[in-house]
Amino acid sequence: MALVSMNELLPKAKAGKYAVGQFNMNNLEFAQAITQAGMELNAPFIFGVSEGALKYMGIEYTVALAEASAKKSGLPIALHLDHGSSFDVAMKCIRAGFSSVMFDGSHHSYEDNIRLTKEIVKAAHAMGVSVEGELGTIGGTEDDISVAEENANLAKPEEAIRFYEETGVDALAIAVGTAHGMYAGVPKIHYDIIEQVARAIPISLVLHGGSGVPDQMLIDAIKAGVTKINVNTENQVAGTQAIRDVLNKDAKVYDPRKYLTPARNAMVEVVKSKIILFGTSNKS
Ligand code: 13P
């Protein structure tokens, strides 16, 4: 099966009141682990690729891995640029074969964010590619981008509604209290903002920073109206811990397959647990 746009996945999730997982792909083992989990549970999913991951893997390898996953699994899979920073990066990804892009204009003024997002929506939609926008700023660290908690701004419902109406995005990430990376304490999710926006606009709301959020809070976020949840750090932590365990146990290991196989297996378990939690099993 060819890669699909998020519009093949998210409207069904909104109607069915479940959430599709965006699992970030950082290398071959991530692609394999996420795909295996999806296949075991017959679940659609979204590969998220940040600009940092894109630089690390190279755009050709990235698209080839995602296409191989879609072909091998037969599942509907979207390949989505995560936190794209410019029109040029978004177009480069679309030309290379991405089926979806995010433009994160949250560091611009509200009006500039609308203007820049609109340009990307126009170009992407002409090529059948879906677009996610962002409003408010999500705290924490992803790649080289760090937003201090005190600078993380919650999205305002009336601004989110107007943002959708003016830009025509297919999905909208709204800052509601989660952050990228693991949490020192428990995040405070503003379910009221999710509810208000989800009721007012027909597109999907996206919860970034899914790692380390207690299960019940994710379930409550889906109940409030979130239909896409992004997870990256939890896979990184589980995979790296498995590698550390192997190397700590035996200092003589040198064959990467000896530590990457347990890392991959650990990530399969993380992704499966999220798919089950999000209600995406058997939704392919
Ligand atoms: P985490 O790394 O906190 O899971 O966040 C992932 C994310 O939101 C990617 O955009």
- pLDDT digits 0-9 by tens, 22-42: 999 999 999 999 999 999 999
Q: Which atom of ligand 1 is nearest to the CA of 178?
A: 3
Q: Which residues contact 89 (CB under 8 A, 6 or more apart)?
A: 51, 81
Q: In CATH, what number is assigned to the domain containing residue 111?
A: 3.20.20.70
Q: What is the CA radius of gyration of the chain?
A: 18
188 domain residue, yes or no: yes
To the query of whether residue 82 is one of the catalytic residues in this protein, the response is yes
| Burial class (CB within 10 angstroms; exposed 0-12, middle 13-18, buried 19+) of 254 | exposed
User: Please, what's the largest Cα pairwise distance for the chain?
Assistant: 59
Q: Is residue 283 part of a domain?
A: no
Residue 56's pLDDT is 98
Q: What is the pTM of this model?
A: 0.96
Work out how many domains the chain is built from and give that number. 1
Residue 50 resides in a domain: yes
Convert the pLDDT of each residue in 150-201 to its tens digit.
557 899 999 999 999 999 999 999 999 999 998 888 899 999 999 999 999 9
Distance separating alpha carbons of residues 184 and 250, to the nearest angstrom: 31
Give exposure, 108-133, as e/b (b: 16+ Cβ within 10 Å).
Answer: eeeeebbebbbebbebbbeeebbbbb
274 lines ligand 1 (CB under 6 A): no
46 assigned to some structural domain: yes
254 located within any domain:
yes
User: Does residue 284 sit within a domain?
Assistant: no
Which atom, in ligand 1's list, is nearest to the CA of 234?
4
**Residue of 50, 208, 267 to mutate, ligand 1, most atoms within 8 A of C-beta:** 208
Q: Is the CB of 21 under 6 A from ligand 1?
A: no
Query: In this structure, is residue 235 part of a structural domain?
Result: yes
Closest CA to 93 of 113, 123, 122: 123
Which atom of ligand 1 is nearest to 211's Cα? 4
Q: Ligand 1 mean position to 5 CA, how many Å?
A: 20
Per-residue pLDDT, averaged over 6-14, amounts to: 98
Does ligand 1 have an atom closer than 6 angstroms to the CB of 130? no
Residue 87: which residues within 8 A CB-CB, separation 6 or more? 103, 116, 119, 120, 123
Residue 34: predicted pLDDT:
99
Q: Is the CB of 230 under 6 A from ligand 1?
A: yes
Give a yes or no: residue 151 inside a domain.
yes
| Domain housing 205 | 6-278
- Does ligand 1 come within 6 angstroms of the Cβ of 181? yes
Using DSSP's 3-state secondary structure scheme, residue 154 falls into coil
Report how far Cα 241 is from the mean position of its chain's Cα atoms: 22
Asked if residue 134 lies in contact with residue 205, where contact means CB atoms within 8 angstroms, the answer is: no
